[in-house]
């Protein structure tokens, strides 16, 4: 089946620095990718929809200047957490839909961000 | 607002038994419902999708039912194995740009 690769899987950074997380669709093209945030024992919360070649669509309450999303190609979307603070520590997951094959939503392995 | 409810308490069952997980939803008329498996520290893995006009779907040891009147889906794992231990997420999706929304998941423990 289709694979979505997410990198890095774990990252630790100091407060005030920026962190970039990459999401790649390995064997299909994705015009749309999704970024989620998940706290322990809670559901995936959609942060934004990443649209290839255009601006991302952010969910209510998500700061677009804080969480920068770039979808520069049909196989790559990036999420940059700018000026990270300890409260940004979380599990970030991306997904992409293989719209041509099945419409199935494939998820990356997730990225655990810890801000010290 | 749209709401998905899954049993927050962990489900503990003996190996070989059938595990049944419940997903209830309100204020939503989904075009389809999906079930995912999530292991600790990993991203969700798609298991099954059932559409609004389908009552039941099976895949190997998995069975999903979808009752749009009750607004409920049941997820069954027959002949459960310790390797089935994981968190199972229910997700609702729609057409026309509706986003997929997820439940918090139910943790399943299968004891040998």
Q: What is the pLDDT of residues B22-71, one digit of tens each?
A: 999 998 888 889 999 999 989 999 899 999 899 999 999 999 999 999 99
* Cβ–Cβ gap B46/A108 under 8 Å: no
pLDDT greater than 90 at residue B74 = yes
List the single range of A6-10, A87-91, B5-9, B106-110 with lowest mean pLDDT: B5-9
pLDDT greater than 80 at residue B78 = yes
* Cβ–Cβ gap B104/A105 under 8 Å: no
Q: How far apart (Å, rounded) are the C-alpha atoms in residues B81 and B90?
A: 20
* Cβ–Cβ gap B41/A93 under 8 Å: no
pLDDT greater than 60 at residue B96 = no
More confident residue, A110 or B28: A110
Question: What's the mean pLDDT in B2-13?
Answer: 89
Is the bond into A103 cis (omega within 30 degrees of 0)?
A: no
Q: How far apart (Å, rounded) are the C-alpha atoms in residues B23 and A116?
A: 37
Return the residue of A nearest to B98 by Cα.
Answer: A49
Question: What's the mean pLDDT in A41-65?
Answer: 90
User: What residues of chain A lie within 8 A of the CB of B2, using their CB?
Assistant: none
Residue with tokens 């026309």: B96
Query: pLDDT tens digit string along A1-36?
Result: 668 999 999 999 999 999 999 999 998 888 889 999
């Amino acid at each position: 089946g289709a694979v979505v690769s997410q990198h890095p899987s774990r990252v630790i950074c100091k407060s005030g620095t920026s962190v970039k997380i990459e999401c790649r669709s390995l064997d299909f093209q994705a015009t749309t990718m999704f970024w989620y945030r998940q706290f322990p024992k809670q559901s995936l919360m959609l942060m934004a929809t990443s649209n290839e070649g255009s601006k991302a669509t952010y969910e209510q309450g998500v700061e677009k200047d804080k969480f920068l999303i770039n979808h520069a190609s049909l196989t790559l979307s990036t999420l940059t957490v700018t000026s990270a603070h300890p409260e940004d520590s979380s599990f970030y997951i991306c997904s992409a839909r293989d719209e041509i094959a099945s419409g199935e939503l494939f998820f990356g392995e997730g990225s655990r961000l810890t801000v010290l | 607002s749209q709401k998905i409810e899954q049993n927050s308490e962990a489900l503990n069952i003996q190996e070989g038994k059938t595990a049944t997980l419940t997903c209830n939803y309100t204020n939503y008329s989904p075009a389809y419902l999906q079930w995912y498996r999530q292991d600790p520290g990993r991203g969700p893995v798609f298991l099954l999708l059932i559409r609004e006009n389908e009552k039941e779907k099976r895949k190997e040891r998995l069975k999903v039912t979808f009752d749009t009147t009750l607004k409920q889906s049941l997820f069954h794992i027959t002949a459960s194995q310790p390797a089935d231990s994981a968190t199972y997420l229910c997700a609702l999706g729609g057409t026309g740009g509706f986003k997929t929304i997820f439940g918090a998941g139910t943790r399943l423990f299968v004891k040998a």
